[in-house]
């Protein structure tokens, strides 16, 4: 269920509120682009600034818009185990297909703390769980040995890996077995991770170029190494440019330039500098993406 191209979808805002019409439009664009699933309320969805009501609202919208079409992997993580359980249970009631669980941020738990945190969540929901390791955001790295240990839980079916360590990712793939799903959490490393046995991606770039990200995943699945490598280099500049500032600032700016959402961000995030905006426009134009005046 959680293999292939998933998009870490942005949360569009209008006058301080969730822009439901724009969110549904984005989801329709992703489905038309061939993605395998939608990931609402992740880092790219500005989950850290959503209150519980908004968090539930975004997931409900995604579930309704995706019903019968693609899977919904709902971001329901927190640095509070109790809060993560509450958010996960709400997503389960809303009809999500699975849960994305980030490592607790700020608290900096040790490996045993990580194991207990994820085990507690898994013990309080019935949905499959994808772990999320992103030390650049959380200041804590989940060791491969901890992932292997957690993989023994029937509810924990995979991990989104954004540690940047191909060695660690290789160990997870090798030691967790073929039934455990490893997804890339870094667009620039998608091709290398697929090459060593990863099964897909939760992508930022797919917000604006879903067809290309889908094509890379399918190329690898079909054993077409030449096309996969070509797509890797084709997307290299856009993958880099979407991280010239804190995610999701650049990708929301790109979607705004494409006329798909408003420009609104939640503080403390602020808009791109004029220099970064011009760079983004040039790279988008080179990929044939529409840029409104």
Number of separate domains in the chain: 1
> Residue 290: inside a domain, yes or no?
no
The proportion of the chain whose per-residue pLDDT surpasses 70, expressed as a percent, equals: 100
Domain span including residue 50 = 4-223
> Residue 267: inside a domain, yes or no?
no
Estimate the crossing angle of helix 111-122 against helix 81-94, to 10 degrees. 30
150-172 pLDDT, tens digit each: 999 999 999 999 999 999 999 99
242-286 pLDDT, tens digit each: 999 999 999 999 999 999 999 999 999 999 999 999 999 999 999
> Residue 180: inside a domain, yes or no?
yes
Instruction: Find out whether 81 and 120 touch, Cβ atoms under 8 Å.
Output: yes
> Residue 252: inside a domain, yes or no?
no
> Residue 277: inside a domain, yes or no?
no
For the annotated catalytic residues, the residue numbers are 132, 160
> Residue 174: inside a domain, yes or no?
yes
Separation between Cα atoms, residue 247 and residue 55, nearest integer Å? 18
Specify the pTM: 0.96
17-49 pLDDT, tens digit each: 999 999 999 999 999 999 999 999 999 999 999
| Dihedral angle computed from the Cα positions of residues 237, 218, 192 and 196, in that order, rounded to the nearest 10 degrees | 180
> Residue 109: inside a domain, yes or no?
yes
> Residue 264: inside a domain, yes or no?
no
47-72 pLDDT, tens digit each: 999 999 999 999 999 999 999 999 99
CATH, residue 29: 3.20.20.70
Residue range 212-233: mean pLDDT, rounded: 97
């Amino acid at each position: 269920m959680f293999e292939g191209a998933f998009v870490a979808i942005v949360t569009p805002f209008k006058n301080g509120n969730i822009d439901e019409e724009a969110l549904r439009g984005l989801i329709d664009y992703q489905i038309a682009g061939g993605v395998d699933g939608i990931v609402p309320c992740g880092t790219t969805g500005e989950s850290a600034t959503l209150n519980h009501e908004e968090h539930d609202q975004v997931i409900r919208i995604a579930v309704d818009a995706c019903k019968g079409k693609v899977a919904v992997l709902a971001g329901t993580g927190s640095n509070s185990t109790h809060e993560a359980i509450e958010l996960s249970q709400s997503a389960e009631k809303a009809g999500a297909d699975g849960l994305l669980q980030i490592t607790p941020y700020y608290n900096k738990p040790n490996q045993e703390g990580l194991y207990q945190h994820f085990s507690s969540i898994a013990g309080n929901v019935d949905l499959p769980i994808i772990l999320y390791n992103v030390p650049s955001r959380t200041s804590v790295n989940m060791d491969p040995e901890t992932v292997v240990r957690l993989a023994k839980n029937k509810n924990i079916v995979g991990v989104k890996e954004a540690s940047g360590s191909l060695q660690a990712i290789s160990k997870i793939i090798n030691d967790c077995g073929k039934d455990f799903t490893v997804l890339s959490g870094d667009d620039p490393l998608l091709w290398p991770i697929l090459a060593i046995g990863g099964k897909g991606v939760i992508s930022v770039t797919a917000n604006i170029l879903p067809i290309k990200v889908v094509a890379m995943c399918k190329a690898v699945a079909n054993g077409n190494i030449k096309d996969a490598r070509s797509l890797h280099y084709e997307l290299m500049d856009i993958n880099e440019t979407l991280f010239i500032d804190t995610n999701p600032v650049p990708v929301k700016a790109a979607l705004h330039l494409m006329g798909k959402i408003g420009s609104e961000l939640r503080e403390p995030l602020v808009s791109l500098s004029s220099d970064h905006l011009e760079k983004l426009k040039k790279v988008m134009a080179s990929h044939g993406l529409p840029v409104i005046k």
